[in-house]
Amino acid sequence: MKPWIKVVIALFLGSVFGLVTGQSFPLLERIGQVFIDLLKMSVGLIVFSSIITGVCHISCPAKLKRIGLRSLLFFVLTTLIAIFNSICVSFWIRPGEGLGMVLPKNPTGVSLSMMEQIFALFPSNPFASLAQGNILQVIVFATFFACALMTCKEKGEPVLKFFESLMEVMIRLTQIVMRFAPIGVFALMASSIGQMGLELLQKLFLYLCCNYLALAFQLFVVYSFCVYFLANVSIFKFFKAMKDAVIYALSTCSSSATLPISLDCVRTNLGVPKEIAGFVLSIGSTINMNGAAIGQISCALFIAQAYGIQLSFSSILLLILSTFLSAVGAAGIPGASIMMMSIILSAVGLPLEGILLVAGVDRLREMFSTVVNVLGDAVAAIYVAKKEQEVVELSSEFAIS
């Protein structure tokens, strides 16, 4: 049985158990908390290593050409559109409003002014930032570290290889932790539903609707506009050409695992030259996470609404910044989004305990989120190829006459 099927079954059984018993069991709460803690323990190192390796690979002189700059510009703009899109939908539907969750005794964040929040991004002690879980400071230090590492050239290669290995180890550790996801999801749903009943299920349904609506807008409005007007490719034929990648993304929930299929679809069906397809899709599978950005914004606003927390304008701006950075640093593997959510919540002072509310249904969100991630990379590839005037083998079957 596939892991995601086990998670869905655990979600259903946990919900039924909670509804039947009508109470929250301390043991189940503790088991669910342990599962979240196991995921959180990998966040600091996986973000630190992935930012360093990503910056070093993207910013090497050979790749800082027109293709690289156009790809990065496309990724940045579409990610920002996804973030604003998700914010609008979440404030419109307000899925968490009325839950009346009680804030924990030890809050995870402190309310700061906008300038204080900006200055607080720069760490004085990166090890303290890792120990305290201040992921934004970790990202800032990792970026500076990567820039310094690039200037070392050959002498820095052993260090870069170490962080590449560290990233692979942390991803593997996450995969091992995710094997316990069915147990954690059952415990989380049973304790949450047992305490709050059908009201929580209704709110979670609205939360998923927020995600799906924002993802649909990104897919059928933003991407379709880019495909038709910027790349001059038929929208229908584009989706048809990418159907194999879409199916694989739905089943694996992994942008990285879908990369070989996406490459084949983009090169064979859409005629994008292999050098452009390989570069854009490889980079995109790491940093172009529009679906992840939508999910993280939705999660943060859902939790803020559930706890009755009013976010200030400066907190909204910091939320946008932290979402963008965490989406760039997210690993393209199943379950990574749960870990990255802690970055957003910590940045704006929201309780990490709120992750327990959405962890049970995260797989249902992540399936369609991955599709948006994967198709966003493909759209970027055909756009860049069109700008470079290198789509020389584009079949008339996929082109607009």
Residue 29: predicted pLDDT: 79
Q: Taking 50 as the threshold, does the pLDDT of residue 392 lie above it?
A: no
Indicate the number of domains in the chain.
Answer: 1
Average pLDDT over residues 238-245: 88
Residue 172 exposed, middle or buried by CB count within 10 Å (0-12, 13-18, 19+): exposed
Query: For the chain, what percent of residues have pLDDT higher than 70?
Result: 81
Q: Is 398 inside any structural domain?
A: no
CA 346 from chain centre, in angstroms, equals 16
CA distance 191 to 193: 6
Structural domain includes residue 399:
no
Task: Name which residue leads in pLDDT, 149 or 143.
Answer: 149
Task: Name the residue range of residue 346's domain.
Answer: 3-387
Long-range contacts of 243-252 (CB under 8 A, 24+ apart): 245/374, 245/375, 245/378, 246/371, 246/374, 246/375, 249/367, 249/370, 249/371, 249/373, 249/374, 250/367, 250/368, 250/370, 250/371, 251/2, 251/4, 252/334, 252/370
Question: How large is the angle between the packed helices 135-151 and 336-347, nearest 10 degrees?
Answer: 110
Query: For residue 400, is it within any domain?
Result: no
Residue range 121-131, pLDDT digits in tens: 788 888 888 87
- C-alpha to C-alpha distance for 81 and 327, rounded to whole angstroms: 13
**Given this model, what pLDDT does residue 102 score?**
72
With beta carbons less than 8 A apart as the criterion, state whether 320 and 368 touch. Answer: no
Q: What is the mean pLDDT of the chain?
A: 79
Tell me which amino acid residue 274 is.
Answer: K
Kindly state the percentage of the chain with pLDDT values over 90: 17
Per-residue model confidence (pLDDT) at position 239:
92
Residue 160 buriedness (CB in 10 A; 0-12 / 13-18 / 19+)? middle
- pLDDT over 80 at 226, yes or no: yes
Report pLDDT for 401: 43
Residue listed under structure tokens 């803020």: 304
Lowest mean pLDDT among 112-116, 232-236, 299-303: 112-116
In a domain, 401, yes or no: no
- Determine the average pLDDT of the residues in 69-98: 90
Residue 308 has pLDDT above 80, yes or no: yes
Chain position carrying tokens 């349904």: 205
Copy the structure tokens of residue 181. 């996801």
Q: Could you read off the pLDDT of 335-391 as tens digits, one per residue? A: 566 667 777 787 777 887 788 778 777 777 888 898 999 999 999 989 988 887 655
Lowest mean per-residue pLDDT among 40-44, 95-99, 177-181, 351-355: 40-44
Phi, psi of 104 (to 5 degrees): -65, 160
Residue 167 lies in a domain: yes
Q: What is the mean pLDDT of residues 196-213?
A: 85
Per-residue confidence (pLDDT) for residue 380, from 0 to 100: 92
CA distance 355 to 345: 9
Rounded to whole angstroms, the Cα distance separating 281 from 272 reads 11
Give the model's pLDDT for residue 151.
85
Q: How far apart are CA 286 and CA 273, in angstroms?
A: 20
CA 41 from centre of chain: 17
* pLDDT band at residue 197 under the 50/70/90 scheme: low
- In this model, does residue 64 exceed pLDDT 60? no
Q: How much is the average pLDDT of 76-102?
A: 89
Q: Which residue has the higher pLDDT, 127 or 224?
A: 224
Check residue 302 and give its pLDDT.
Answer: 92
Q: What is the CATH number of the domain that holds 185?
A: 1.10.3860.10
Q: How far apart are CA 285 and CA 235, in angstroms?
A: 22
Most confident of 169-178, 235-244, 330-339: 235-244
284 domain residue, yes or no: yes
- Mean pLDDT across the stretch 23-36? 79
Task: Provide the 10 A C-beta neighbour count for residue 225.
Answer: 12
pLDDT score of 70 more than 80: yes
AA identity, residue 141: F
Between 240 and 344, the higher pLDDT residue: 240
pLDDT (average), residues 297-314: 88
**Is the overall model pTM greater than 0.85, yes or no?**
no
